[in-house]
Structure 1
Amino acid sequence: MNYVFGIIIFALDVWAIASIINTNETTGTKILWILLVAVLPVVGLIIWWFAGPKADYG
């Protein structure tokens, strides 16, 4: 069961990183957010969800 949770977190982190890359933020800001999500997968994802830059698909 733990591996299912790990796969879900991994998929959400990949989605968050892809979303961060697609923002209009500066490269430095993108790198900081990507590092936060990569180093702290669960906490970083939660922080990004509430405070991070979101991709503009429109």
Structure 2
Amino acid sequence: MMVEITGLLGLIILILDVYAIVKTVQSNASTGAKVAWVVVILLLPVLGLLLWFLFGPKG
């Protein structure tokens, strides 16, 4: 049971990270900012996602 919950949580985090990366690439931010955000999201999947949600490029 615990393995299923952990696997499901990992899948949800992966889906949200991919969503954050796609939204970052589509944003109007500069290329450098986009690259920096993608690196942060990839290196720190949970913390990077939270930081992107709070401080990431909008629009």
Ranked by relative contact order (alpha carbons within 8 Å, sequence separation 6 or more), the top structure is: 1
1:6: which partner in 2? 10
- Unpaired runs of 5+ in structure 2? none
Identity %: 40
Higher helix fraction (1 or 2): 2
* TM-score with structure 2 setting the length: 0.89
Write out the 4+ residue segments of structure 1 that deviate beyond 2 Å after TM superposition: none
Match of 1:23 among 13, 27, 40: 27
* TM-score with structure 1 setting the length: 0.90
Q: Based on CA coordinates, which of the two structures has the bigger radius of gyration?
A: 2
Please, what is the CA RMSD of the aligned residues?
0.7
Q: Tell me the number of residue pairs that the alignment of Structure 1 and Structure 2 aligns.
A: 55
- Unpaired runs of 5+ in structure 1? none
Match of 1:44 among 34, 45, 48: 48
